Amino acid sequence: MGGAVSAGEDNDALVDNLVSADIIRSKEIEQIFRAVDRGHYYPERFKEDAYRDSAWKDGNLHLSAPCIYSEVMEHLDLKPGLSFLNMGSGTGYLSTMVGLALGHSGINHGIELHQSVVDYAYQKLDEFKSKLSTSDFCEPTFVVGNCLKVDPSTMRLYDRVYCGAAVSEKDELYMRRFLKINGSLVMPLNDQLVVMTRFSENGFSKNYFYAVSFASLLRPSPEDPMVKLPEMSPMKLKEICHKKVKGLINLKRCLEDEDWAESPEKRLFTYYNLLDGK
């Protein structure tokens, strides 16, 4: 599924095409797509395919088409501090983009079926973090297992949920159990992406918004272990305060340096970075 826009030569060209086609519609989502290079999640031998608007698969590694991720990001309506669950987190590409939207106070969890894919996702996450220029990032945590077999004792409620495989009408009832009131779930259902909102304990609304073709969720076997979701543990207040104090100390040192920065614009940019604890 894909082909909504022409291929780009690099990540910025791909994003330009998605913006021109009105698939990426908000400035915040555009900035996130520019910050997370799609090509980074491709093995070297497949890099030439990274900026095409098409899905890609190599063994257990899989990425949906850029136009799909764009629509998903737009309809998740992500905000700083929210909690997010990615069912079928794969390479970690989407979870990493979500992490930039949630900021350091959010919660970012993913469930992936294959251990080798989780290992790959953590490798790519470490590489991404090594080049990250902001500390305002909600690092994803991935667990291995079938998302249809979550241990009830670790059941969590999330503000935002995404499922990256086709959901049956039977599984729809299971999926919405993870939603908080006023939370939103985006998933493929009846060959369309749907955003489902929980507006009360038993009240849900649906809005179909994009035609898609996804592989179906793999049914768990009785032998499959239960998936234990991670704890809900956003950055503690003490850690946030420590970062801010560190930033103020660094800012004071810069202010005492007469040669610091070459222009008012650079000084202003550095103020924000230092105050963010960098």
Q: Is 205 exposed, middle or buried (0-12, 13-18, 19+ CB in 10 A)?
A: exposed
Kindly state the tokens that stand for 91: 């390479």
For the chain, which residues make up each domain, given as ranges? 11-235, 239-275
Among 96-105, 209-218, 249-258, 269-278, the least confident range: 269-278
User: Taking residues 4-30, what's their average pLDDT?
Assistant: 91
The helix (run of H) or strand (run of E) holding residue 101 is helix 93-102
Give pLDDT tens digits for 52-79.
999 999 999 999 999 999 999 999 999 9
> Do residues 151 and 226 touch, judged by C-beta distance below 8 A?
yes
> Do residues 201 and 223 touch, judged by C-beta distance below 8 A?
no
Q: What is the pLDDT of residue 7?
A: 73
Q: Is the pLDDT of residue 168 over 60?
A: yes
Other C-beta atoms lying within 10 Å of the C-beta of residue 180: 15
Compute the distance between CA of residue 201 and CA of residue 113 in angstroms, rounded to an integer.
30
Give pLDDT tens digits for 213-251.
999 999 999 999 999 999 997 654 445 554 555 555 555
Model confidence at 269, in pLDDT bands (50, 70, 90)? very low
Instruction: Name the fold adopted by 11-235.
Output: Rossmann fold (3.40.50)
Compute the distance between CA of residue 79 and CA of residue 29 in angstroms, rounded to an integer.
11
Among 99-113, 155-169, 209-223, 243-257, the least confident range: 243-257
- Active-site amino acid positions: 64
Q: Is the pLDDT of residue 256 over 90?
A: no
Q: Whose structure tokens read 């992406």?
A: 193
Among 74-83, 184-193, 214-223, 269-278, the least confident range: 269-278
SS3 letters across 188-212: EECCEEEEEEECCCCCEEEEEEEEC
Percent of the chain predicted with pLDDT > 70: 82
> Do residues 218 and 166 touch, judged by C-beta distance below 8 A?
no
Compute the distance between CA of residue 58 and CA of residue 47 in angstroms, rounded to an integer.
12
